[in-house]
Structure 1
């Protein structure tokens, strides 16, 4: 399944892209499940980000490897690829893309995930959409609303 969320913001695309650091990662964390950050190397190929999802009943490890990164005159992006995933996920690919939009930018969260069971992927879709849609207000707070 794929989710593609777009958020227009006021700051230019390189300022936005360069702000994808540990501080922004913490601000984007959803209220539930709580995330305990175990490792944050950055967003360069070979970097690792590791969290523990704390549900209140059980904790799950989630580790992603940054596999790609590119900057052009109109866009910049990096990919985090799931290495160790919480059940029921079996595949995770998240492209963090920031594109030029006049004097501002558009932040794209392009997420491809799979549980290995199409029906379960469909059931998870509203949850995934909800979790990542929560980033939109934070993006606008941090980078300003697009005019």
Structure 2
């Protein structure tokens, strides 16, 4: 499945990039499932992000490797690739893009591709993922006013 969400913020691209840190990561975590950050190296190639999701009776680890990070005058992006995923996912590829807009702002793009073990589960999980990432939009806007 492929999901793309865009959020415009009123800060320059360099300011937004500098704000992509553990503090922002903690604020972006949704209320459910509760997420424990086991490890957060950052957003550069080779960095690791390890989360523990708490589904009440079951805890699931989610480990992603930052497999790419590039910067130009018009765009900064990094890609996290799932290397250890919760039971309901078989693949995860998330390109975090920061695009310079025509003014002095930035467009934050969450470009996500994921798969579950079954096509029906992909379809059922899509609206859940959409909600989880739409939850980030007001946080981005508040953080980068």
TM-score, normalising length: structure 2: 0.97
Q: For residues 34-45 of structure 1, what are the structure 2 equivalents within 5 Å?
A: 34-45=34-45
Distance in 2 (CA, whole Å) between partners of 1:19 and 1:70 is: 16
Distance in 1 (CA, whole Å) between partners of 2:17 and 2:90 is: 28
> Which consecutive aligned stretches of 4+ in structure 1 deviate over 2 angstroms post-superposition?
none
1:95 deviation in Å? 0.5
TM-score, normalising length: structure 1: 0.96
Identify the residue that residue 55 of structure 1 maps to in structure 2: 55
Identify the residue that residue 15 of structure 2 maps to in structure 1: 15
1:42 is paired with a residue of what secondary structure? coil
Identify the residue that residue 89 of structure 1 maps to in structure 2: 89
Q: What do the CA deviations read for 1:56-103 (whole angstroms, capped 9, x no partner)?
A: 121100000000000001010000000000011000000000000120
Are residues 1:134 and 2:132 paired? no
1:116 deviation in Å? 3.4
Gaps of 5+ in 2: none
Distance in 2 (CA, whole Å) between partners of 1:129 and 1:93 is: 15
Identify the residue that residue 80 of structure 1 maps to in structure 2: 80
Aligned length: 144
Gaps of 5+ in 1: none
Distance in 2 (CA, whole Å) between partners of 1:97 and 1:18 is: 13
1:3 deviation in Å? 0.5
RMSD: 0.7
